[in-house]
Amino acid sequence: MAGTGSGHMQWLLLLCALVACSGFSFGRSGLHTQTSLSHLSSLRSTLLRMSSSTRTDLRNVAIIAHVDHGKTTLVDSMIRQSGAFRTNQEIESMDSNAQERERGITILAKNAAIMYKDVKINLVDTPGHADFGGEVERIMNMVDGVLLVVDSVDGPKPQTRFVLKKALEKGVKAIVVVNKIDRPQARPDYVIDKVFDLFTELNADDKQMDFQIVYASGMNGIAGLDHTKLQENLTPLFDEILKLPTAEFDSAKPLQLLVANVDYDEFKGKMGIGRVQNGEVSVGEEVAYGKPGETYKKAKINEVFTFNNVGREKVNQARAGDIVMLTGISDINIGDTVMNKENPLPLPPITVEEPTVRMSVGVNKSPLAGREGKLLQSRVIRDRLFKELDKNVALKVSETDSADTYEVCGRGQLHLTVLIENMRREGFELMIGPPTVIEKVVDGVKCEPFDQVDVTVPNDYTSSVVDLLNKRKGEMLSMGPAEGSDGQTQLQFVVPTRGMIGIRSALLTATKGTLVMDTVFDSYRPCVGAITQREKGSLLAFEDGEGTTFGITGAQDRGRMFVNVKDAVYKDMIIGVHQRPGDLAVNICKTKALTNMRAAGSDDTIKITPPLELNLDIAVEYIAEDELVEVTPTQVRMLKHPMHKTWKKNRQDL
């Protein structure tokens, strides 16, 4: 246990060693010392060894992987096999957020803990999608090892490279878990070769290159060190985790806790989550907190929690190495260091990569505004957006020239739409602008972000994919047959992020839904000029009203519709996709003129084609630079910008 008494004793021992090694002698002129530089260097190493301590009863581990490679399913199986639950007991999945369940991805990093052979294993489940890479970057400060989960068929993918790079930069050791080993198409030897190549490309050191391999099926809860001899449980994986580096700390240093995440409770208020790097933290202790170079504030710790299974456990004291949750600091933020108030030693704050995409978020001004939502005012929207910054470190929010519009910057389109979807469900009504990229000047040259795009597609549709990506100013890096898959082609492109906005639906249509595409941020490169975002125009509502059977039947000949009968529409609202370039206003509110003439059974032959699916993600991807998205708690609509006739002239984007 780290304590001030043991620290003082070690300093006393060091002083004795200094006397012994320095060669003191006495003469007529007084005390003479013959200390050499080699002696001082030796003493310095001795001090580091004496002050460095470890926690053998604790392992802090993060689970990192590409999206859909089975991280969360594996964590759920590990928790189930920890022995803390009955066989038939229902266990809440780590992906407990509503959007996580609906989208089938992890959005927020979460903590859990299990006990195995008297060792506590703190697990941190991280997102696999590139847009939520900020979650991965900030939790790397809390762990000493990682489980790199790789699909037994797909092998390493773009996001695998990103998350592994962040882990290797922090110097943590990895265990490679080849997941979904029970798949018939599994090719473990190929996957391991690719993983080894990835470690080499990322300049891993010798210790990191010597990684252990575990073959597993997270769904079935089985694992083994040989893919032909799997045990009926995850014991081999647990045993390998115990071989990861233990939590190290400096027993001579006072309390240091870097806040890597924050949570909020209606009763407890704001809560900081982080790892105790050095020292101890206790309930009722007065601490200082802040960032380097800032004026430190003081607060009193009300409660300390450690993680236990999928919940948390209240404790009186936490030691160095523990991952804890603290209450009592009302304005704690990610990147703050909680320190000893007598000897504050702040840690370097968390740094994440800069956002690449921005959108405008403002007050809903459509003719149908205010009918559903309760949170409408610009002040309420502003407070909610800036509150999001407390826990979303990769997000940036700034005010614009307009008092009721704000600019939100994130790591990608999905990163921003998840925030907007959360606000929609909370009762907000918003007006959303089209996503645009964030440009910057590099060495005097105007540059924009580029994405690395990996595509696997059937051979029959390869030319269509290449054509679409070329039109978006993409540069082909490689093209060849997909390994282990007959009739498939593997393509790798570097495409401007601006060109990737709105292309997913076009690619899925061109390949009849058979495309598999992964993207990750590559770099900033010189701007490539104008890019055609959409080939077809929009169908616009001619007047306010409700859609009628007669009106929609006539409009169907002009394109595919987004609206149905009885749906409320207003002038310049986008109600469909025009079959030709350019916009077209159609009147779907008109009714059939009544006359005395009737054709028997003619009205029975009217057929209305079901409307196209429209949700927030589809709408944001669809809109052009002169269009907006109206978001309410129950509806998503698209419309032309009120100044759309002069909008293009005023825009400065390429």
Reading the block at residue 506, the tokens are 């076009």
Q: Are 575 and 562 in contact (CB under 8 A)?
A: yes
> Please, what's the largest Cα pairwise distance for the chain?
134
Range in 12-21, 581-590, 621-630 the model is least confident about: 12-21
Domain covering 56-245 assigned CATH 3.40.50.300 in the classification: yes
pLDDT in tens, 448-486: 899 888 888 888 889 999 998 998 888 999 888 877 667
- Distance (Å, rounded) from C-alpha 409 to C-alpha 134? 13
- Taking only the tens place, the pLDDT of each residue in 335-380 is 888 998 888 888 888 777 788 888 999 898 888 888 888 888 889 9
| Residue 215 pLDDT | 92
Q: Report pTM.
A: 0.75
Rg of the chain on CA atoms, in Å: 30
| pLDDT category of residue 43 using cuts at 50, 70 and 90 | very low
Residue 524 in tokens:
């900033």
Locate 60 and state its tokens.
């802090």
For domain 249-340, say whether CATH 2.40.30.10 is its number.
yes
For residue 416, give both structure tokens. 């921003």
- Do strands 280-282 and 317-319 pair parallel, antiparallel, or not at all (unpaired)? antiparallel
pLDDT at 653: 45
Query: For the chain, which residues make up each domain, given as ranges?
Result: 4-53, 56-245, 249-340, 440-526, 538-623
Helix (H) or strand (E) holding 206: helix 206-209
CATH no., domain 538-623: 2.40.50.250
Q: Are 195 and 156 in contact (CB under 8 A)?
A: yes
Look at the block and give the residue holding tokens 């990322």.
202
- Separation between Cα atoms, residue 120 and residue 241, nearest integer Å: 11
Residues with Cβ within 8 Å of 8's Cβ and at least 6 positions away in sequence, in order, are: none
Quick one: which of 248, 344, 332, 235 has its CA closest to 287? 344
With a cut of 60, say whether residue 440 has pLDDT above it: yes
* CA–CA distances in Å: residue 174 to residues 192, 216, 559: 13, 16, 53
For the chain, what percent of residues have pLDDT higher than 90? 4
Is residue 192 within 8 Å of residue 209, measured between CB atoms?
no
Strands 145-151 and 173-179: parallel
Choosing among 3.40.50.300, 1.10.10.60, 2.130.10.10, 3.30.70.240, the CATH entry for 440-526 is 3.30.70.240
Strands (E), 393-512: 396-399, 405-410, 430-432, 436-437, 440-442, 445-458, 475-481, 488-496
